[in-house]
Structure 1
Amino acid sequence: MGHHHNFSWSYRKFKGDRPMRIGIGGPVGSGKTALVRALSEVLRDKYKIGVITNDIYTKEDEQILKKSGVLPSHHIIGVETGGCPHTAIREDVSMNFEAVEELTEAIPDLHLIFIESGGDNLAAAFSPELADVFLYIIDVAQGDDIPRKGGPGIKQSDVLIVNKVDLAPHVRVNLNTMKEDCRKQRENKLTVFTNVLSGEGVTEIAEWLAKEYQGRREEAKR
Structure 2
Amino acid sequence: MVTRREFLKGAGIAIGGMALGGGIVAGIGSMAHPSTKEKHHFKELPEYNKALMFFTPTEHAVIEAAAERIFPKDENGPGAKELLVSYYIDHQLAGAWGNGSKEYTQGPFYAGELTQGYQGHLNKQQIFRIGIEGLENEAKKRFNKSFANLEGEQQDEILKAFENGEVEIKGVSSSYFFSLLRTATLEGVYADPLYGGNRNMEGWRMKKFPGHQMSYADIIEKDEFVVIEPQSLHSQHHK
- Please, what TM-score do these two structures have when normalized by structure 2? 0.30
The structure in which a higher percent of residues are strand is 1
The structure that has the greater radius of gyration is 2
Higher relative contact order by CA 8 Å / sep ≥ 6: 1 or 2? 1
- Please, what TM-score do these two structures have when normalized by structure 1? 0.32
